[in-house]
Every structure is written in C-alpha cells, then in structure tokens.
Amino acid sequence: MSKKLYSLPLTKVIDFLNQNKSTINTTLKEKKNLEIALYFGKCYYGLALEEFIRFFKIYKDTTYTLKTIEFFNSEIFLMEIAKLLSLNEHQYSQNLKSMVFAVSYLLYNKNQPLFEDFLKSAFLHFHTSFQKDSDIYINHEQIVKELVKSKRQIIKESFGQSDDDVFFKISLDGNEIISLKGKSLKTLRKKAYKNFFFYFLDHNF
C-alpha cells in the first residue's frame, strides 16, 4: 500500500504532538483530566469509525461491520497507530493503547478536520492492507465507487470478448485507466477494481 494514503495527515499529527507536549503532559499527569480525555477520546474515535463504516456502506453487512469494529478496536491495530505516531518516543506513563484515545481527544478538540482526516486515512489503509489478519473481506469495487463519488468523478467499465479471451476495462472521466485480459470475467472484474483502487489512492491522496 502506498504511504501516500496517510503520510500527509500523519506528518501533521506528529507535528501536533510535538507542538502540544506541555498540554498533553498536563492532561496525562492530572488523573481527572486523563479520565475525561480517555472517555471522550474513545467516543470520538468510535464516531470516526462509525463514519468510515457508513461512508463505505460496510454497515449493510452486520457480520462484516462487527468484524471491522472488532479489528479497529483490537490491540494490534491500536498499537500500529501508536507506532505510526511514535508515541513510545514521548515516554508517556500511560500504556500506548490508552494514549491513542487520549491523543484522539486532544486532537479532536484542537483540530477536528485533521483528526477526521487522519483516522479515515488510517482506517482505509489498514482495512485494505490487513485483511488476512483481520479476516475482513475487501470489496474493492464498492470502495472505489464510493471514493470516486466523493471526488465527483465519473467511473465507467466496459467488457467483452476478443478472440479466445475476455477483457475488462475501467475509465475515469473518459480516460482509460485499467485494461485486463483473461479467461474469467468475474476474476477480471475483481482484479481490475483492486488495481484501480490502488491507482486511485496514489493519485488522489
């Protein structure tokens, strides 16, 4: 997965952490402030996850939705976020999992657009990268169509048969982006949308 997906908001969040060290330390050292930060940080994190699930229409499959929720609240994912943000380098006394929620609280209140941008990018990155570990089925076609729609662009597909092969093509705003040949149209469709998904991310994030 291209680092372009989360590199820009990630850099901005790390800058935020470095610029707000005193505020963060004050929050973490005062027990009551910390309890508030952890509680509401987890709430804000949950709302961001709900928005992600709704945006990509994951909620239409309840089993899929629950697996997604479970994964993004798991130790493995939260620790990945902590590592991305280099929280271990700040020598905070709290465990890294709790720190993700505390940072979510502070970031939400200081810069809500950045908070939403970073989590949406992180969710999307790991949602499509860790499907084997998370046991989540990735519908690239559905994700692509939602992303393209959000950018107000037009995606079209065409397919047919040529000699002994079948072909499948995807164009964006009239420009052909993906063109594949093979024996199975069903297989080509899945591969084409997966390839287009990564192309779209590289050119739009």
Tens digits of residue pLDDT in 139-163: 788 888 888 887 889 999 999 998 7
Residue 139 token pair: 């519908």
Confidence of residue 192 (pLDDT cuts 50, 70, 90): very high
C-alpha 52/C-alpha 80 separation (Å) is 18
Residue 4 has a pLDDT of: 44
- Among 81-85, 105-109, 154-158, 176-180, name the one with the lowest average pLDDT: 81-85
Can you point out the beta strands (E) in 105-190? 155-162, 165-172, 175-182
Phi first, then psi, for residue 167 (nearest 5°) are -130, 155
